[in-house]
Amino acid sequence: MATASVVDEKVYDVTVIGGGPAGLFAAFYCGMREMSCKVIDSLPQLGGQLAALYPEKYIYDVGGFPKIRGADLVEQLKTQAMQFNPAICLSEQVIGLEKQEDGSFVLETNKGRHYSKAVIIAGGIGTFTPRKLPAKNVDDYEGKGIHYFITSVEAFRDQRVLVVGGGDSAVDYALMLEPVAKAVTLIHRRDQFRAHEHSVHQLMNSSIAVKLFTELQEIHGAEGVEAVTVIDNRTQETERLEVDAVVSGLGYTASLGPIKNWGLNIEGNSIVVNSKMETNIPGVYAIGDITTYPGKIKLIAVGLGEAPIAVSNAKTYIDPTAKLSTIHSSDRTDIPMGQR
């Protein structure tokens, strides 16, 4: 892995802002299109939110993998991208983007300057902050049995765990913990889940205790989490549950941070792009969860598919004589029809 210097004055063909799954696949595809590439990420490691928050979580929306741990998917993507030796800049936040008269870009970071002919923004959900658990005394137990993400399932072995939430994160966390924890309880404030239907089916057919219309009210314990009080939001009846850990699956609040000041068309904390992954600034593209367009679905698989679109259009932006798409096996005329 090549680590770029903050005084690197080379003008790269493409600079990818964000080293998550979509960003890593974009770096790989830049190599396939024979374009030089640099990846800049504010986190200290590649993999984005997947590596930082969900390394143990199983991913189900990537073709070819019935399921794969987040950390393993990141390693595969890194191995794939590093075939072309992109320059990597970690723990570095891009704070400014300026287009030059010749159409190229200067990227200002908290460490230096970078130069690029085109830019692909793959910033995930931007900067993210976990949503606080709703218990009135939750701050007293931060770091003492309260968890906003899971980096090691083994850390919960033989524990009684409460999972809060009804989205994919909460349901996946509960299913991940079931084989190792002594007992898992999931509470959700409604009877409708936002998680994928198959995951909910697995949840309801597991040993996990599911309590609907139930919310976290208070946490108890002398040195750490020992029990919680939950409340039925219909009857207002309370129940005390003995638990050793509370895992939040309530998600994160996201902010685009400095990106909001770059002159991009923003809607609902997302960057608006067209079918070419183009933003309103020629030469700047965006992919993955940070983007929006009619019909957009925020899945890893979608971001991976958007990467080659952005890279190929960046190729024609840099070199108008280049072909948008390359020849693939089904286009070969020298292969007999029956063997294609």
- What DSSP state is assigned to residue 155? G
- Angle, CA 58 vertex, CA 19 and CA 42 arms, to 5°: 20
- What DSSP state is assigned to residue 82? G
Same domain, 241 and 296: no
Structure tokens at 115: 């130069």
β-strand partners of 107: 97, 114
Task: Kindly write down the DSSP assignment for every residue of 213-232, as one continuous string.
Answer: SEEEEEEE-SSS--EEEEEE
- The CATH number covering residue 102 comes to 3.50.50.60
**What pLDDT sits at residue 334?**
52
Please state the φ and ψ torsions of residue 334, each to the nearest 5 degrees.
-85, -5
The pLDDT tens digits for 151-160 are 889 999 999 9
| Alpha-carbon span 40 to 26, nearest angstrom | 12
Closest CA to 56 of 180, 145, 203: 180
Same domain, 163 and 238: yes
**Domain membership flag for residue 192:** yes
**What pLDDT sits at residue 3?**
52
Whose tokens are 């159409």? That residue is 103
Same domain, 167 and 31: no
Q: Which of 223, 250, 277 is the last residue of a domain?
A: 250
Q: Across the 340 residues of the chain, what is the mean pLDDT of every consecutive 10-residue run?
A: 63 97 98 98 91 86 93 97 97 95 96 97 84 92 92 94 95 95 98 94 97 97 96 97 96 86 94 98 97 96 98 97 76 50
Same domain, 143 and 281: no
**Domain membership flag for residue 193:** yes
**Domain membership flag for residue 337:** no
Domain range for 140: 132-250
**Domain membership flag for residue 51:** yes
Same domain, 121 and 270: yes
Q: Which of 250, 283, 307 is the last residue of a domain?
A: 250
* Chain centre distance of CA 157: 26
- Angle, CA 135 vertex, CA 133 and CA 138 arms, to 5°: 75
